[in-house]
Amino acid sequence: MARNDPIYKLVYFDLRGLGETARQIFAYAAVEYEDHRIKREDWPYQKDATPFRTLPYLEVDGEVIGQSNAICRFLARRFNLAGRDDLEQARVDALVDYVNDVRNGGLIGWFREEDKEKKEKLKAEYFNKTVHGYLETFEKHLKANTDSNAEYFVGSGPTWADIHIAILMGMLQDVEPTVLAKYPLLKAHKARVENLKGIKEWIQKRPKTAM
Ligand SMILES: N[C@@H](CCC(=O)N[C@@H](CS)C(=O)NCC(=O)O)C(=O)O
């Protein structure tokens, strides 16, 4: 690290969750940062001091940025993962917004359900039906990117949308290992992103957490 390099500190829980895309952006860009993980029991005392009373947040030379996607977009611009021009950037943003649609479209619903029986029912419905509409749409976007021969989602890639989507796919596969069986492009894309220099090494060494 050179003397005048910015100092980055990413603060999140000891989870992959909403912190993992930023961590992988740092890993791919080979930029040093502090991966600060807050313990659940300490969180109530720190909550009010964060920008949106949520995690993650990022400190950059003492400036504080909240909201996971704003953090990732900021890092992606700095490290050339945001898309080459404004049109590519809009396509990257649209895909990232679609990840939010996936999260809000039934994923969080079954995940947070506490009644065991209801949870199993919601989960089965999600993996048998709901998730496939989203996966078909992602696969269609990948196929449509002739710039990269379907290797990446936007331009000649990779962008942070690729990282963000591969992480989502990994999360779905953790719960249902066969979820990508009908989506060869998405499956290959996930493997490609996980093999990128920096990301591959990070995945091998990152703390093992449930999600
Ligand atoms: N839109 C926010 C959501 C942040 C969020 O809900 N974070 C959760 C952890 S994944 C949190 O801080 N939970 C603790 C709390 O709300 O007290 C983002 O993307 O950063």
Q: Is 1 domain-assigned?
A: no
At residue 107, the pLDDT reads 87
Are both 127 and 163 inside the same structural domain? yes
Q: How far away, in angstroms, is 52 Cα from ligand 1 center?
A: 8
Are both 107 and 137 inside the same structural domain? yes
**By percentage, how much of the chain surpasses pLDDT 70?**
100
Are both 59 and 98 inside the same structural domain? no
Residue 50, ligand 1, Cβ within 6 A: no
Nearest CA to ligand 1 atom 17: 54
Rounded mean pLDDT of the chain? 96
Does 3 score more than 90 pLDDT? Answer: no
The CATH number linked to 38 is 3.40.30.10
The CATH number linked to 169 is 1.20.1050.10
Does 17 score more than 80 pLDDT? Answer: yes
The model's pLDDT over 27-63, given as tens digits with 9 standing for 90+, comes to: 999 999 999 999 999 999 999 999 999 999 999 998 9
DSSP 8-class letter at 59 = E
- What is the mean pLDDT of the segment spanning 67-86? 98
Are both 75 and 131 inside the same structural domain? no
First-last CA distance in the chain: 31
- Report ipTM (2 d.p.): 0.99
* 210 band by pLDDT with thresholds 50, 70 and 90: confident
Nearest CA to ligand 1 atom 10: 18
Radius of gyration, alpha carbons of the chain: 18
Q: Is 211 domain-assigned?
A: no
Are both 117 and 55 inside the same structural domain? no
Q: Is 172 domain-assigned?
A: yes
Pocket test for ligand 1, best of 54, 99, 102, 211 (most atoms within 8 A of CB): 54
Instruction: Note whether 163 and 193 are within 8 A (CB).
Output: yes
Q: What is the dihedral of CA 52, 167, 108, 94, to 10 degrees?
A: 70
Q: Where are the alpha helices (DSSP H) in 39-181?
A: 43-46, 68-78, 86-102, 108-112, 116-125, 131-144, 160-175
Nearest CA to ligand 1 atom 14: 54
Ligand 1 atom having least distance to the Cα of 12: 9
* Residue range of the domain that includes 58: 8-80+198-205
In sequence order, the β-bridge partners of residue 10 are 35, 58
Residue 137, ligand 1, Cβ within 6 A: no
